[in-house]
């Protein structure tokens, strides 16, 4: 099979994965509504895990396929892309406020999750089941905390985003059979898309003699971050840039805890040595930079957006230079 075809099928796999994940979330959320499950529970389970389904499927399939460096690379690369691209691009369009209630605590959680992931990686590489259990426990604790905050009436941008879904709106199907069809097609698509990505990312890595982690940090990471990037660009264009922060912070926490945990529970997750030297710290610094803006209650404006995007371009250039 030619390399151009592998690149094409990799992109096709990413598109299938994104569409399938969206269908799964919409179908499952609609079914839950049919069955009378409260919006808060739907948001904290189906929507929360469903929106991270692309990364989760890739991570688990990569581990089971013996390509676990692809999984760890995708987790780290997606978090970097989420901050520098998914916030940088919309900030160029319209300033993103950081003074909404609940943003600071979620920014702290994002930094803490990054630190926990990095510390666990330094303790043992490849990541083992016990490390996966710690990471996955992190997402369960986080969701429990979110649930209690919601019940107490606390404002939170992530909760608001996950629970504002209604039948007939946001593309949620109204009829039960259609909801079930969405779920079925979504599940099949996730498996198919994940398989295409893992198989052809491995082929490309072997052909160019580059680590699978680099493919995960770049092509796959950008691809799986596209839903977040698209969501916040549309939100900024429509005059609601505040959606961006909740989207990015929630996605990053789930990538580290839920996706990282599920991957390590599925099998040993190898982490390329270069991630310890460079990529981990880029991810952590991006999260800390975001936290600084939030604590200062400073909006992320056009100049900062340009800096974020340029920083991501420099990051990609550094990765490319490291392969030479």
Domain CATH for 297: 1.20.1420.30
Residue-range definition of the domain harbouring residue 84: 3-323
DSSP state of 99: -
Distance, in Å, from the CA atom of 42 to the CA atom of 47, rounded to the nearest integer, reads 6
For the segment 299-320, the average pLDDT, to the nearest whole number, is 92
Residue that wins the pLDDT comparison between 39 and 199: 199
Output the six-digit token pair for 141: 């604790």
Please give the average per-residue pLDDT across 92-115, as a whole number: 87
For 252, which DSSP code? H
Q: Report the domain count for the chain.
A: 1
* pLDDT tier, 134 (very low <50, low <70, confident <90, very high otherwise): very high
Question: Which pLDDT tens digit goes with each residue over 218-246?
Answer: 888 888 777 777 777 776 666 666 667 77
Higher pLDDT, 213 or 24: 213
**Displacement of CA 17 from its chain's centroid (Å):** 13
The whole-number pLDDT of residue 255 equals 92
Judged against a pLDDT cut of 70, whether residue 162 lies above it is answered with no
Computed from CA positions of residues 237, 238, 239, 240, in that sequence, does the dihedral angle turn out positive or negative?
A: negative
| Residue 124: DSSP 8-state | -
Per the listing, tokens 């599920």 go with 262
Across 25-29, 162-166, 269-273, the highest mean pLDDT is recorded for 269-273
Does the pLDDT of residue 112 top 90, yes or no?
A: yes
Mean pLDDT of the chain: 82
Q: How many CB atoms lie within 10 A of CB 210?
A: 16
- Nearest CA to 105 out of 323, 266, 253, 254 is that of 253
pTM of the model: 0.84
């Amino acid at each position: 099979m030619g390399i151009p075809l592998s690149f094409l099928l990799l992109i096709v796999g990413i598109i299938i994965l994104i569409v399938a994940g969206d269908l799964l979330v919409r179908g499952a959320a609609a079914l839950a509504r049919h069955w009378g499950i409260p919006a808060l529970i739907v948001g904290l389970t189906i929507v929360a895990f469903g929106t991270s389904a692309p990364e989760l499927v890739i991570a688990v399939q990569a581990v089971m396929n013996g390509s676990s460096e692809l999984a760890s690379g995708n987790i780290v690369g997606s978090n970097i892309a989420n901050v520098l691209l998914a916030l940088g691009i919309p900030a160029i369009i319209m300033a993103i406020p950081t003074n909404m209630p609940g943003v600071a605590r979620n920014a702290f959680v994002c930094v803490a999750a990054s630190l926990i992931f990095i510390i666990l990686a330094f303790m043992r590489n490849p990541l083992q089941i016990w490390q996966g259990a710690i990471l996955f426990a992190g997402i369960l604790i986080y969701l429990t905390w979110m649930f209690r905050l919601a019940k107490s009436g606390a404002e939170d941008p992530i909760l608001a985003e996950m629970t504002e879904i209604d039948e007939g709106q946001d593309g949620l199907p109204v009829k039960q059979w259609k909801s079930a069809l969405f779920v079925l097609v979504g599940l099949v698509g996730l498996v198919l898309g994940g398989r295409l990505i893992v198989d052809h990312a491995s082929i490309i890595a072997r052909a160019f003699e580059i680590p699978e982690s680099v493919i995960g940090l770049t092509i796959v990471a950008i691809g799986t971050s596209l839903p977040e990037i698209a969501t916040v660009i549309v939100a900024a264009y429509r005059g609601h840039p505040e959606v961006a922060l909740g989207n990015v912070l929630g996605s990053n926490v789930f990538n580290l805890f839920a996706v990282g945990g599920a991957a390590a529970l599925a099998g040993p997750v190898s982490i390329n040595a270069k991630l310890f030297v460079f990529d981990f710290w880029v991810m952590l610094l991006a999260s800390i930079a975001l936290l600084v803006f939030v604590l200062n209650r400073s909006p992320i404006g056009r100049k900062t957006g340009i800096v974020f995007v340029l920083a991501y371009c420099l990051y990609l250039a550094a990765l490319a230079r490291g392969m030479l």
